[in-house]
Amino acid sequence: MRLCYNPAMSTLNPIIELVLASQSPQRSELLKLIGKPFHVEPANIDENKQKTELPHSYAKRLALSKALKVAYNHQNGSIVIGADTIVVQNDNVVGKPASNEEACQMLMKLRGNTHQVVTAVAIHYSKSGNISQELCETNVRMRNMTEEEVADYISTGDSLDKAGAYAIQNVKFQPAMPLGGCLANVIGLPLCHITRALRQNNIHVDNDIAEKCQDHIGYDCPVYTSILGS
């Protein structure tokens, strides 16, 4: 599958091909805010966790594997972004549910408690051969929803393709709130981390990216200055 996004006004050098190695519509919507043309090319890798693999290492491996697999198919000048988002509770990875029953079990374990959402990003620059890696972690507090609320949410089908069986941006369900961290990370793509990595590799991103992100997701981010200023 190859989907294209090409804003009418873009400052991206036309010789650069930007590729998002993910089929997530949430990631595509966030990446559009950068204002540069890109297309979507899912990597379709094996996402099984290795037995002794720690959560952060697991997310970083998958993000890098996605970027490298897609980058293999592109010529010099391409920039491939791979990302992987995981939910971590008590140092254990909570994956995507395989059924409604599993989704219910996940949400009941998460409810009323704090967990972490971790997104690893890997960016491959084919022209230089450089690889940027970023890791963003946000503490998330799940509200103490009722069993009926959980059942109603699961019946919508929204939980089946989500890590932890929920979408934090679901306005009707409103499952959780970030505790002072990056909300875009919880949705699936920490834009300020990507911006930092691109700038470090001489790729221009407009200075208003943080404001665009906050307007898009309706969130007053307390951490963007520390990320973009580092």
Which residues have a catalytic role annotated? 84
Write phi, then psi, for 200 (nearest 5 degrees).
Answer: -65, -15
* Contact (Cβ atoms closer than 8 angstroms) between residue 116 and residue 135: no
Q: Which of 15, 25, 5, 38 is nearest to 194 (CA)?
A: 38
As given in the structure block, the two tokens for residue 216 are 């898009």
Residues 6+ apart with CB under 8 A from 171: none
Q: Which of 175, 187, 172 is nearest to 109 (CA)?
A: 175
Continuous H helices in 33-146: 55-71, 100-110
Q: At what angle do helices 100-110 and 147-154 cross, to 10 degrees?
A: 140
